[in-house]
Amino acid sequence: MVRAAKLGALNLAQGAPGFDTPQNVKEACIAAINQGHNQYVQFTGLKELKESVSKKLSERNKITTDPEKNVLITSGAMGAVSSATLTLLNAGDETIVFGPRYSCYEAHTALAGGKLIVSHLNKEDFSIDWEDFESKINEKTKLIILNSPNNPTGKVFTREELEKVAEIAIKNDLYVISDEVYEDIIFEGEHISIASLEGMAERTVTINALSKTYAMTGWRVGYLAANEGLCTKISKTHTHIVVCAPSICQFAGVTALEGDQKPVEEMRLKYMKNRDLVIETLKRAGLKCTKPAGALYTLVDVSSLGMDGTEFANRLLDEANVALVPGDEFGEYWKDFIRISFARKEDEVSKALEKVEEFIAKVGAHSSSLS
């Protein structure tokens, strides 16, 4: 990423939205600064923002919360996942996650002295191997981390899949961290919060952020919902790390959640257009890929081109000045894959895709002449 930035490469790597934060949100932040809201706020979060989050959780996610007991405002979703993981795990505990996994889950588990165990999805269609998943749960397993819509596959877990995860969590008395940062970026299917399923609210930490939905990745505002005792403990961890999320961004966050939601839908439609362009291009170039139902990414096997994801990414950067992420970032098992992000504006995505297509044509012709 550092090399790509230095080279000024076209960006199919990052999940940072190519759109600006809505104007009303920016103005709310400026007003908060001018009104003097420039010091710490209540460490668990600004009262008004916790109330907005609680209302949104009830209306959208079917999760009932008391804003003062069950909601914590965090420094991005990352602040929520790290604080929750550090709170829930003791040294030697295990977290189980579906692979390919967002790399931070491994880092946070390691910071807590725990071990991340991965149950890999099927490489063809990202379906779950339930036998494998259940066989990896043992007496050390404490936590399942779930991410739907998913980075990097774009998979949106179905109700049936979530019910099965819930059943397994209850049977084995496990906590679930449900990272739902892409809930508003769905193209097919529906987003279901696992905490809304029977028996799950007590054992689930539901995590979200304003980052992706409102194109606010730099503002560092996220939130979580958990049972009262757990929420109190996670709040202490979060406070000891960052004190509180930025005050002025929390004021703006109330406007984001309560204000006009049109920009959210406009961005979703633009992402969907980009997604379709990515899939058309890859298919035309002869690569097999699964159409992502949500989030901002597609994960594609490039081994048919006679190279792994790292070689593909390095050569694409050197020869075509386009950056993307090699699959081993999401676990060694996925080294034959690349992740393409379609978060940027349409013109940047289409320009980058033209270069990807040319590159595949070049290396594809070469690899077939060798075989």
Please, what is the minimum distance in Å from the beta carbon of residue 107 to ligand PLP? 12
Contact pick of 78, 162, 249, 356 for ligand PLP (by CB under 6 A):
78
Q: Which is nearer to ligand PLP, 214 or 312 (CB)?
A: 214
Report if residue 87 touches ligand PLP, rule: CB under 6 A.
no
The pair of three-digit structure tokens given for residue 332, joined into one six-digit string: 């060694």
Restricted to residues 308-337, the positions that interact with ligand PLP (CB under 6 A) are: none
What angle, 0 to 180 degrees and rounded to 10, lies between the N-to-C axes of helices 247-258 and 23-34? 140
Please, what is the minimum distance in Å from the beta carbon of residue 71 to ligand PLP? 16
Amino acid type, 226: A
Q: Which stretch binds ligand PLP (CB under 6 A): 106-114, 123-131, 209-217, 260-268?
A: 209-217
Residue window 89-108: x/- pattern of binding to ligand PLP, with contact defined by CB under 6 A: -------------x------
Contact pick of 4, 9, 12, 15 for ligand PLP (by CB under 6 A):
15
Per rule CB under 6 A, count of chain residues that contact ligand PLP: 13
CA distance 274 to 128: 27
Tokens 């991410």 belong to 147
Q: Rounded to an integer, what is the distance from CA 238 to the centroid of its chain?
A: 20
Q: Which stretch binds ligand PLP (CB under 6 A): 46-54, 74-82, 86-94, 327-335?
A: 74-82
**Beta bridge mates, 300:** 289, 338
Residue window 143-162: x/- pattern of binding to ligand PLP, with contact defined by CB under 6 A: ----x---x-----------
Tokens 């494998």 belong to 132
Please, what is the minimum distance in Å from the beta carbon of residue 271 to ligand PLP? 14
Contact pick of 222, 246, 253, 331 for ligand PLP (by CB under 6 A):
222
Contact pick of 141, 217, 290, 298 for ligand PLP (by CB under 6 A):
217
Residue spans of alpha helices (H) in 294-336: 309-320
CA distance 326 to 334: 9
If we measure between CA atoms, which residue out of 334, 324, 336, 263 comes closest to residue 297? 324
If we measure between CA atoms, which residue out of 349, 322, 324, 350 comes closest to residue 337? 324
**Beta bridge mates, 323:** 11
Q: Which stretch binds ligand PLP (CB under 6 A): 3-11, 36-44, 72-80, 92-100?
A: 72-80
User: How far apart, in Å, are the Cα atoms of 164 and each of 151, 188, 197, 331?
Assistant: 21, 21, 11, 24
CA distance 347 to 341: 14
User: How far apart, in Å, are the Cα atoms of 283 and each of 278, 291, 301, 310?
Assistant: 9, 10, 12, 21
Report if residue 11 touches ligand PLP, rule: CB under 6 A.
no
Report if residue 185 touches ligand PLP, rule: CB under 6 A.
no
Interaction site with ligand PLP (CB under 6 A): 15, 76-78, 102, 147, 151, 179, 181, 209, 211, 217, 222
